[in-house]
């Protein structure tokens, strides 16, 4: 089991979600973040005061996956997020000790295996 943390450009989020969906990766968490990845800082001016924006808007994805899904998840994120310019982001793969699915109490690999889509009532 691994936790995949990816930091990507916000404007690439839709493409990443799409490519994850195509790779059958379903459960994920998205949060908006700020960060710096070595890209040139945009310069902005407000009433003559010039500022350098050192922190860029970024999006952080967190995805818990079983071993079999690690590489395809990484591939999907890279395919959706790459522009080729500095600031495309990073993917971190972290070991996970334990996972619990709250609804059922299932643990570990069971807990990150998607259930067949339930019928809407």
The answer to whether 37 contacts other proteins (rule: CB under 8 A) is: no
Instruction: Return the H-helix or E-strand segment holding 92.
Output: strand 89-95
- Shortest separation between residue 81's beta carbon and other proteins, angstroms: 12
Full strand arrangement of the beta sheet holding 89-95: 29-35, 56-65, 2-8, 89-95
Per DSSP, the three-state class of 98 is coil
Window 54 to 93, contacts with other proteins (CB under 8 A)? 54-56, 83, 85
The answer to whether 43 contacts other proteins (rule: CB under 8 A) is: yes
Contact 3, 60 (CB under 8 A): no
Of the residues 21, 26, 37, 51, which one makes contact with other proteins according to CB under 8 A: 51
Residues that bind other proteins (CB under 8 A): 9, 11, 14, 34, 36, 41-46, 49-56, 83, 85
């Amino acid at each position: 089991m691994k936790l995949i943390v990816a930091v990507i450009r916000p404007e690439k989020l839709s493409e990443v979600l799409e490519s994850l969906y195509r790779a059958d990766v379903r459960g994920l968490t998205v949060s908006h973040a700020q960060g710096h990845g070595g890209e040139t800082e945009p310069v902005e001016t407000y009433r003559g005061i010039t500022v350098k924006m050192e922190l860029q808007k970024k999006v952080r994805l967190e995805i818990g996956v079983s071993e079999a899904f690690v590489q395809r998840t990484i591939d999907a994120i890279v395919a959706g997020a790459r522009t080729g310019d500095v600031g495309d982001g990073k993917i971190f793969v972290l070991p996970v000790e334990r996972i619990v699915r709250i609804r059922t109490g299932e643990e570990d690999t069971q807990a990150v295996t998607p259930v067949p889509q339930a019928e809407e009532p």
